[in-house]
Amino acid sequence: MTTLQLQNNDARIAYLAVVYHLGRPGSEIDPESLGVHRAALQPLLEVLRPQLEQAVVTVEANAGQVQRIGQALSGVSNELRQYGLSGSSMVAGFSETVVGFWPEVAADQGAAADLVQFAVMLRRRLESEITSAVAELAADAAAVEAERQARRGAWWQVWRR
């Protein structure tokens, strides 16, 4: 588990990124089991929500969740740019969250483009955690693949046994 400590504005950006992630259909579905993904971000949303008024927010996340937060921060940057151009979003709950956190965006939709810098800066600050999470996930995947290969063996080389 990784402990993320976020300043208030960073926590709001992270919350917005999770809202963005959850607003996309199928984002929490594991493609292999078709159940809820083990790195689901919904639990993080529930941990972030009550802490948003605090100066520092602390969140515990597993490697998959950290990787997904990194992806969500990249996605929310693009969505904020689009929101700044059109004043709306196709992602469920995104517009309401943006206006709820930053009321000035309701008056000037171009102010949403100014929020992009916060998402990019948070992504950069979390880069080492995200890189570590990606490496951990890759090592886990390699270990699972090696175990699968070892169990499978060379069944097709029956004559060598």
Q: Which residue has the higher pLDDT, 158 or 80?
A: 80
Strand partners, 61: 2
Domain edges within the chain: 2-160
Q: Is 58 helix (H, G, I), strand (E, B) or coil?
A: strand
Q: How many residues does the chain have?
A: 161
Closest by CA position to 79, among listed 8, 17, 10: 17
Angle among Cα 149, 132, 22 to the nearest 5 degrees reads 90
Q: pLDDT of 12-26, one tens digit each?
A: 999 999 999 988 776
pTM: 0.83
Q: Assess whether pLDDT exceeds 90 at residue 147.
A: no
Q: Which residue has the higher pLDDT, 142 or 149?
A: 142
